[in-house]
Structure 1
Amino acid sequence: MTTLQNLQQRYTKSLLSKKETAKELNISQATLDRLRKANAINSRKVGGGIYFTLEEIASFVDA
């Protein structure tokens, strides 16, 4: 099973919050912010919040 399929089974939504993404990657939110600013992982702004697609998380993990 691929990383993306694994994520899709665990989450019914397609976007994860910064907190959920940090927990999924087992890193702090500060580390996630550093990765975002270094363009190592892409994010989306929605209503003032930072969110990550399941595809982007899987791509980061598999890289």
Structure 2
Amino acid sequence: MSSQEEVQVIDFEELLRFIEKRLASAGKYVRREDIITILQAEEAFLMEKGVLQEYSE
């Protein structure tokens, strides 16, 4: 990783709560397991496209 790249760590639990809150405010209920499945698919897609990369310290 070059020194110009920025690493941003996202708290997964915080992300889940945010999504649940947004859905609830729109009158929608989606099971947490379903949200996790969607997020995992999105992560795989973004990694395949090179937008996300695994980070290890």
TM-score scaled by length of structure 2 = 0.31
Q: If the length of structure 1 is used for normalisation, what is the TM-score?
A: 0.29
Higher relative contact order, structure no. (Cα contacts within 8 Å, ≥ 6 residues apart): 1
- Pick the structure with greater CA Rg: 2
